Structure 1
Amino acid sequence: MIRFENVGLRYGAGREVLSDLTFSIAPHSFQFLTGPSGAGKTTLIRLLFLNLKPTRGLISIFGKDTALLRRADMPALRRRIGVVFQDFRLLDHLTTYENVALPYRVLGKDEASYRADVTDLLDWVGLGDRKHVYPPVLSGGEKQRAAIARALITKPEFLLADEPTGNVDPPLARRLLRLFLELNRLGTAVLIATHDIGLMDQLDARRMVIEGGHLEIYE
């Protein structure tokens, strides 16, 4: 589904921040991405989400060489990828329901076609009774779950989650991990970027460790 071959990235004339990344991500797979702060996890996520282009090497996503993509092709490809950002990126003037429904609203869908899906998903992440609340009133954990629900609403083929348990307590972190596992069981490939060793130790999953701009993979 995703393939990197000898990918390198540098900003301007500086040294490479990512070097010689070669790996693939299979459909329906589950993996963790970890490494020290500043090692390049978020930069790699931006490459995977087509927010950055590599300085060198090949990136193929859903069988398409990203170097050959036209700008007009990008939105359709991105819609196949769900992203949970570290800073949530919820819109404060929209309710929890409206934030989760936003991807459908951007596509111009009629609300009647997605209302039940949004409501069911909010119940699934434990926010059914908070759907009419605005983000400033939500707790950190509730915002996290709302961001996850928004990333999942369009049933992406691949989910990227950047530190999804970074603002929650251990019991809620375990609950969120169960949500990701259930999503993976339903067919979505999942990559979770995290510093949380305890979280990773709960699951015998592939680990992608990035340090000093280089990647090691432990199956």
Structure 2
Amino acid sequence: MVRFENVGLRYGLGPEVLRDLSFRIEPHSFQFLTGPSGAGKTSLLRLLFLSLRPTRGLITLFDHDVATLDKDALAVLRRRIGIVFQDFRLLDHMSTYENVSLPLRVLGREEESYRHEVEELLHWVGLGERMTALPPVLSGGEKQRAAIARAVIARPQLLLADEPTGNVDPNLAKRLLRLFIELNKSGTSVVIATHDIGLMDQYDARRLVLHEGRIHVYD
């Protein structure tokens, strides 16, 4: 599904923040992405989401060489990826329900075909009473859950989550991890960036560890 070969990334004329990254993410796989603060986890997720292009090296995603794709082709590929950003990126003029259902609208589905599905997921993540609320009145944890629901609602082939449990209590964190695990069982490859060692130790999953710009893989 994803292949990195000797990938490097630098911003402007600065030093490389990621270098010589070579690894694969297989279909139906589940992995944690970890490393110290500033190691480049968010930059790597942005490469995976195609919002950044590498400075050097080869990235192959869904059998496409990313370097050969134009903006329209990249946009089509992104529809196969779900992502949870640290800053949530909810649309302030849309309700919680509308934000979560947006990926399905982009895919051209009629509301009557997905309304129950969206409402059920919002109840599951504890937002059943907040469906009509706008993002500015949601708490940080509520925004986090809405962003997660939006990322998984279309059952993407690849799910990327940047510190998805950082704003919720431990019990809800486990509940959200179960959601990711069930999504993985249904066929989605999952990459969760986290610095929470205790959380990772609860699951037998592959680890991608970033250290000083390089990646180490522990199966």
Q: Do both proteins adopt the same fold according to a TM-score greater than 0.5, normalized to the shorter chain?
A: yes
The yes-or-no answer on 1:20 pairing with 2:20 is yes
Aligned partners of 1:2 and 1:211: how far apart in 2? 20
Secondary structure, aligned partner of 2:112: helix
Aligned partners of 2:152 and 2:176: how far apart in 1? 13
Question: Structure 1, unaligned stretches of length 5 or more?
Answer: none
Q: Name the counterpart of 2:136.
A: 136
**After superposition, where does 1:30-179 map in structure 2 within 5 Å?**
30-179=30-179
Aligned partners of 1:67 and 1:175: how far apart in 2? 38
Aligned partners of 1:191 and 1:109: how far apart in 2? 27
Aligned residue type for 1:16: E
Q: Name the counterpart of 1:186.
A: 186
8 A contact 1:96–1:133 mirrored in 2: yes
User: Alpha-carbon deviation of 1:160?
Assistant: 0.1
% same residue: 71
TM-score (norm. length: structure 1)? 0.95
Question: Structure 2, unaligned stretches of length 5 or more?
Answer: none
8 A contact 1:125–1:179 mirrored in 2: no
Aligned partners of 2:146 and 2:199: how far apart in 1? 20
Q: How many residues align?
A: 219
Q: Name the counterpart of 2:10.
A: 10
**Cα deviation per residue 1:98-140 (whole Å; 9 max; x = unaligned)?**
1101223344543223222212221232322221222233232
TM-score (norm. length: structure 2)? 0.95
Q: Name the counterpart of 1:211.
A: 211
Aligned partners of 2:55 and 2:133: how far apart in 1? 43
Hey, which bits of structure 1, 4+ residues long, moved more than 6 A?
none
Range 198-207 or range 95-104, more displaced: 95-104
Q: Is the alpha carbon distance of 1:155 and 1:52 closer, same or farther for their aligned partners in structure 2, counting shifts above 3 Å?
A: same
Aligned partners of 2:186 and 2:125: how far apart in 1? 15
Secondary structure, aligned partner of 1:88: coil
Aligned residue type for 1:179: L
Aligned residue type for 2:62: F
8 A contact 1:86–1:163 mirrored in 2: yes
User: Alpha-carbon deviation of 1:150?
Assistant: 0.5
**Cα deviation per residue 1:164-214 (whole Å; 9 max; x = unaligned)?**
011112111111111111111111110000011111011011111101100
Secondary structure, aligned partner of 1:129: coil
Range 89-98 or range 55-64, more displaced: 89-98
Q: CA RMSD in A?
A: 1.3
